[in-house]
Every structure is written in structure tokens, then in C-alpha cells.
Amino acid sequence: MNGLQKAYTRSFQFCIKIAMKIVPIRIPERITGEGKLAELPQLIKDKGLKKPIIVTDSFLSQVAKAADPIKEGLTALGLEYALFDGAVPNPTIECIEEGLKVYIENGCDSIVALGGGSPMDCAKIIGARAIKPNKTVPKFKGYFKILKKLPPFFAIPTTAGTGSEATVAAVVSDEKTHTKYPVNDPSLVPNYAILDPALTIGLPKPMTSTTGLDALTHAVEAYVGLEGSKLTNKMAIDATKLIFANIKTAYDEGTNIVARENMQVASFYAGIAFTRAFVGYVHAIAHRLGAVYHIPHGLANAIILPYVLDYFGETAHKKLAELADAVGITGATVADKANAFIAAIRELNAYMDIPTVIEFNNRGTIVKLKAEDYDNIIPQALKESHPWYPVPKLITYAEMKEILVKLTPAQ
């Protein structure tokens, strides 16, 4: 990146920072506590709504029966509903269009998203298509391509990590082009976030760890970036504190309702932070790795995070030292505290069996990052990052390659 490109990128980011101060982004009304899911049907009725679509995945609907309390509650109140349980991991254009068909054919007037990030992202774009039927999904790619009020939206996370219940973002996968891209628009922020920790009881340890570390990545990237505000900084610090205080307990004691609730709140806070202050290179690389290798997003973020923080070096030391102070990590100097904070992230990863390189089991097949894929990964990651992500230190192709080399397992 030459001097002119750097100047353009930083100037663009400065303008976005100013714009973010005047662009209205709502904070969803948060309803928190064990058993709060049961209150959703009455809330829907109180809002004068008649027929929501419940967007979820087949496991939550057919195996875990997580949608049953909503369906039964709506029926008991004399309300109808439509069910779309075809949301898939990394939601595709095809599954979004299938969900849209269910919404339209059933005359729905609102959206209930139940699940992790994928059902929520799917539901968001179904809503966008419903209010902009003449605009195809790929045309929503990027920023501010919707700018129209979605149907009333109720988000119910069943994990504690994506923060989708509080964000302007959704990620779509295009199976034809083998790419993933973000859709960002203030209209995508749900109206309500129902955080019922009972829904996260029983989450497998790997999902508890990777979703929790996904939330940590959101908080840290939002905080070390250059577009933080008083609100986002507070949300990022509070999220980081909650995660460091609760993630090991949630991992070790899956039925600990207090730890589970605190992790949900942390994810919500981190979502508020990064949807206004943006993310950074961790997400850019993770999105591309997800498109190429189908690695779960939270796992990719967890692996990549300490390497990117290492790369930032002294440009991020002050912010990382502040996060260290917030969670009780000490050091003789700012640099010492910053490096100790990065080391603490690595310790969390090790505690929860997160690998140090991109190597994971995908349904019985071991998938590894390969050097021959660098030229596929790096340009797209840089394209996503520049000029939007307000990282403390801009990266070059060669520098990103150095990070990927560290993430590549021995062949």
C-alpha cells in the first residue's frame, strides 16, 4: 500500500467516523433472563402482530424442539405462524430465497429469528428481500443498500457469540462464486433481543468456546480500532470483562445458568460495539477462510486473533493495555500489559483446545490451510478490509502473507 492509498483509506475512515455519529442505529430492546422465551408470544400479540415467520434451522426445530414454546404460545393466544427451518450454516442465497417464499406465501407480518448467527443472518436478509422484492440478494452486498424499515424483528440467540441480535450486519454465502460477503445496513438491527440463557444450556464445549471467543474478537477488534466512541468503548470493555470472568465456567460447567447468561450479555454488548466501531483483519481473514475451507467462523476468529494483535504491535499497545487493566492483567509497562493480554487470549485458546493453526475436523475430514491458497485468500481479505476497517495499522499483501504462514500447519 503506497502513501496515496494510505491517505485515501484513513481519510475515508475519518469520514465514516463522522457519519457514524449522525447515522441512527438503534439498540434492540433487551429482554434477559431464564424463561424469558415464554414471554415472546404475548409480546408479539401486544404489538398488534398477527403472523410471524419463525426462522431457524432443522436441528433446533426438529431435534432440540427449541421453537416449540414459541409455536405453542402463539397458538394459545390465537395467533398463527409460519415456520422456516431451512437455515443453513453460512446462509446461502438459495436458503434465503426459500425462506422468503414461506414468508410471502403465508402472508407474514413479522420475523422471529431463533438460533446462532446463521439463522439470524438468514432472517435478516429474508426481511430485506420482503421489503425490497425487486432487489436480489447480491445487490445488498456492502453498505447502506437497504435503507428501508424491515418487518418487526425479534432475535433469540441460542449461542453466545455472534452478537447478530444487536448488529447491522449479515453474512451471505454465494455457492456459485464460492464467496462470502457482508451486508451492512442500520435497518438490519432487530427490534428486540430475547436473551434466555436456558437456550444455551447443553451447548457442546467446542461451540461454547468458539462462540465465546467470537464475541471476544468482536469486542477487541472494536476497541483497538480507530472509530470507537464512548458507547462502543464501554460496551467492548464490559464485554471483555464478562467473557474473561465467565467463559471458562461456561465451558467447564455447561449448566451454570449465571455464566451462560453473562456470556449472552457479553455477546450482546460486543455486538453493539462492533456494529458501530467495525471489526478488522481477523474477520477479513476469517471470512475468506470460511469461504475457501468452510471453517466455522468463531473457530477461525479464535485462532487468528492473537496473530493479528501481534502484528499491530505498539500501534495497539495502549488499547490492549487498557483491556488488560479491565480484566486484572498486570504488567510493568504499557507494552508488558498489552503483550500479557495477548498471552491471556492464547491461554484461553489453549484451555479450550483451540488449535494454534488452521487445521480442523470437518465431518471426519481434516482440513488444513495450504500455501497454494494464499493468492486466493489475501486479495479478497484486503478488499474486504480496505478502506472500511479502521485498524490501528494498515497491512500489506506481504505482511498478511506472513500471518498466513504462521497459521499454516506443517504439511
Asked if 270 contacts 235 with a C-beta cutoff of 8 angstroms, the reply is yes
Per-residue pLDDT at 23: 85
Give domain status of residue 89, yes or no. Answer: yes
Q: Which of 165, 200, 235 is the last residue of a domain?
A: 200
Does residue 191 sit in the same domain as residue 229? no
Give domain status of residue 267, yes or no. Answer: yes
Q: What is the CATH number of the domain that holds 143?
A: 3.40.50.1970
Give domain status of residue 25, yes or no. Answer: no
Query: C-alpha cell of 312?
Result: 499491530
Q: What is the dihedral of CA 49, 55, 61, 65, to 10 degrees?
A: -40
Does residue 248 sit in the same domain as residue 389? yes
Chain position carrying cell 466455522? 296
CA dist 152 and 111 (Å) reads 6
Query: C-alpha cell of 91?
Result: 446462509
Query: C-alpha cell of 24?
Result: 441512527
Count of structural domains within the chain? 2
- What's the one-letter identity of residue 35? G
Q: What is the CATH number of the domain that holds 267?
A: 1.20.1090.10
Does residue 258 sit in the same domain as residue 348? yes
Give the residue among 184, 137, 141 at the shortest CA–CA distance from 164: 184
If you count DSSP H runs as helices and E runs as strands, how many of each does the chain have, helices first?
A: 15, 11
Does residue 262 sit in the same domain as residue 314? yes
- pTM for this structure? 0.95
Give the residue among 97, 64, 70 at the shortest CA–CA distance from 82: 70
How many CA atoms within 13 Å lie on the side-chain side of 118? 22
Give domain status of residue 287, yes or no. Answer: yes
Per-residue pLDDT at 54: 98
* Element of type H or E holding 178: none
- In 3-state terms, what secondary structure has residue 303? helix
Asked if 111 contacts 81 with a C-beta cutoff of 8 angstroms, the reply is no
* Element of type H or E holding 156: strand 153-157
Per-residue pLDDT at 178: 73
Q: Which residues, other chains included, contact 328 with Cβ-Cβ below 8 Å and sequence gap of 6+?
A: none
Asked if 153 contacts 191 with a C-beta cutoff of 8 angstroms, the reply is yes
How many CA atoms within 13 Å lie on the side-chain side of 120? 28
Per-residue pLDDT at 182: 86
Q: What is the pLDDT along the chain (411 residues), one digit of tens a residue?
A: 788 999 999 999 999 999 888 888 999 999 999 999 999 999 999 999 999 999 999 999 999 999 999 999 999 999 999 999 999 988 999 999 999 999 999 999 999 999 999 999 999 999 999 999 999 999 999 889 999 999 999 999 999 999 999 999 998 988 887 777 889 999 999 999 999 999 999 899 999 999 999 999 999 999 999 999 999 999 999 999 999 999 999 999 999 999 999 999 999 999 999 999 999 999 999 999 988 998 999 999 999 999 999 999 999 999 999 999 999 999 999 999 999 999 999 999 999 999 999 999 998 999 999 999 999 999 999 999 999 999 999 999 999 999 999 999 997
Q: Which domain holds residue 74?
A: 33-200
Q: What is the dihedral of CA 43, 49, 53, 54, to 10 degrees?
A: 10
Task: Give strand ranges (E) for 354-401.
Answer: 359-362, 365-368
Give domain status of residue 84, yes or no. Answer: yes
